[in-house]
Amino acid sequence: MLRRERELRTQIQKLLDGLLFALALWLAHYLRANFLRIEIFGGTDEIEGFQNTSWFWLSLLLIPAAPFILETQGFYSRPLVARRRITYWQLTRAALLAVIILVSLLFFFFKELRARSVVVLFVPAVVLLVGMKEELLRQWVKSRIGQTQLLKRLI
C-alpha cells in the first residue's frame, strides 16, 4: 500500500514539475517582454507574443520533457526531505539541461525567434518556481498533519 501511495505521489509531483517548467518559460517570456526591454547582442527590444507562437509550443513540449530531465538528475530518487543543497544542485543541473534542449530546438526548428534572453531568464525562473514547490512540500512533511499522512497504517 505504501509503495502505491509513493508512486501516486511521485506521479503527481512529476506532472506538477512539468507544469512549473512550462510556467517558468511563460514567466521568463513575460519578464523579457514587459520589463527587460533591452537590445543586447543583436537582439531587439520588442519580441513576439507568447500565444500562437513557437514559445507556446515549446512550453507544451516542456511539460512531458521536464519530469524526464529531472529523473535523469536523480531528482525523484532522493528522500522526501532531502538536504536543500542537494535539491537545488539537482534542480539547477536539470534547468541547465533543459536550456540546452531549448537552445537546440530553437536553433533547429525556430530560427526566426530573436529573444534569446528568454532562455537565459528561464533558469532562475525554474529554480525559483520548483524550489518554492519543494520548500512548501518540505514544510508540509514536517508539519503534524503531514507526518500523520505519511504514517504507516495498520488495521
- Look at residue 49 in the predicted model and tell me its pLDDT: 72
- 122 to each of 3, 100, 139, 140, 152, how far by Cα in Å? 34, 11, 26, 27, 39
Is it the case that residue 144 has pLDDT exceeding 70? no
Rounded distance between C-alpha atoms, residue 54 and residue 109, angstroms: 9
- Look at residue 1 in the predicted model and tell me its pLDDT: 45
Summary mean pLDDT of the chain: 82
Q: Tell me the pLDDT tens digit for each residue of 28-57.
A: 988 888 877 666 555 566 677 777 677 888
Is it the case that residue 16 has pLDDT exceeding 80? yes
Q: Which three cell numbers stand for residue 93?
A: 543541473
Residue 35 DSSP label: T
Rounded distance between C-alpha atoms, residue 118 and residue 40, angstroms: 12
pTM for the whole thing? 0.84
Q: Which three cell numbers stand for residue 126?
A: 525554474
Is it the case that residue 60 has pLDDT exceeding 60? yes
Q: How confident is the model at residue 138 (pLDDT cuts 50, 70, 90)?
A: confident
Rounded distance between C-alpha atoms, residue 66 and residue 83, angstroms: 21
Rounded distance between C-alpha atoms, residue 7 and residue 140, angstroms: 18
- Look at residue 93 in the predicted model and tell me its pLDDT: 94
Q: Tell me the pLDDT tens digit for each residue of 80-124.
A: 777 889 989 999 999 999 999 988 888 887 766 666 788 888 999
